[in-house]
Amino acid sequence: MRLSLRDRYIRAMRVSLFKTTAGMCRIDAVAAISRKLLPLHCRKSMQIILCDNYDEISACAANIVKATVKAKPNAILGLATGSTPEGMYRCLIQDYENGDLDFSAVETFNLDEYYPLSAENEQSYHYYMNEKLFRYINVPADKIHILNGEASDPDAECKAYGDAISAAGGIDLQILGIGENGHIGFNEPDEYLRADVHKTGLTESTVNANARFFATRDEVPRYALTVGIGDILRAKKILLLASGEKKAAAVRALLDDHITTQNPASLLKVHSDVLLICDRAAYGE
């Protein structure tokens, strides 16, 4: 019998997510997988996996990516940067090196890039992705897409990037981190949010949070190119990662009953398939 893509995903999920060592992912409510992936720990419509620490978050997130690629070898992955997904990338590299995962048919689109910043700059997301993932796995170079932080016409660059996502068929699995102020990608709190790929200014809180990656705060770019909220919400599945006490306020706002552009992540509540993987520090009380 030929399985649908959804059934193949569920089968791969059954194997990959629960084939972890004891205690790898603590699930605080009864979970079941049949033809429909049921909530692992349900708060409203969002599925939540509550982990004890960062390593558990990383292992669980990697298993979701692994299940997605096994179910659909030519999956379109939306990738994120920052400190939160680094452990997940390490797990995926290990799976690849062990022969458990093949990225040869995968296509990737990164969420964002600083502007203006060259791809060779060690703080660019081009550099980050190469050092943290791409140089160790077999995604074809022509299937890797990252916004050009040196584009002479950033508006044209953003338009072409959005068109490329659409031409690829959209994102199958979008990986997100969450900023302390609730930003996703570089969609910062504001009165209005853009739906499409665009150039945006960075808030002072984001500049301060990212200053640790630069020699001085003055070196942090004040602009970025980012995939917009509309493009994120068009992803078929969204995987949101959060770790540490500094993310607790943003996660708490994510799980309340309100939707506001002052917390961009709160717009994820309108999506039908969001999985939050967080530790107890980020989840709070």
- For the question of residue 188 being annotated catalytic, the response is yes
90 burial via Cβ count (<10 Å: 0-12, 13-18, 19+): middle
Which of these is catalytic: 183, 210, 231, 263?
183
Amino acid at 143: K
The pLDDT assigned to 220 comes to 85
The pLDDT assigned to 7 comes to 54
Q: What is the pLDDT along the chain (285 residues), one digit of tens a residue?
A: 555 554 554 454 444 443 333 334 433 322 322 223 334 444 456 899 999 999 999 999 999 999 999 999 999 999 999 999 999 999 999 999 999 999 999 999 999 999 999 999 999 999 999 999 999 999 999 999 999 999 999 999 999 999 999 999 999 999 999 999 999 999 999 999 999 999 999 888 888 888 888 888 888 889 999 999 999 999 999 999 999 999 999 999 999 999 999 999 999 999 999 999 999 999 986
Which of these is catalytic: 56, 95, 107, 112?
112
- For the question of residue 155 being annotated catalytic, the response is no
Which of these is catalytic: 148, 181, 210, 263?
181
Which of these is catalytic: 107, 188, 231, 279?
188
The pLDDT assigned to 227 comes to 98
Domains with residue ranges and CATH for the chain:
5-283 (3.40.50.1360)
The pLDDT assigned to 4 comes to 53
- For the question of residue 208 being annotated catalytic, the response is no
272 burial via Cβ count (<10 Å: 0-12, 13-18, 19+): exposed
- For the question of residue 148 being annotated catalytic, the response is no
C-alpha dist (Å) from residue 97 to 21, 63, 66, 92, 260: 20, 15, 13, 9, 42
The half-sphere exposure of 95 on its side-chain side, counting CA atoms within 13 A, is 24
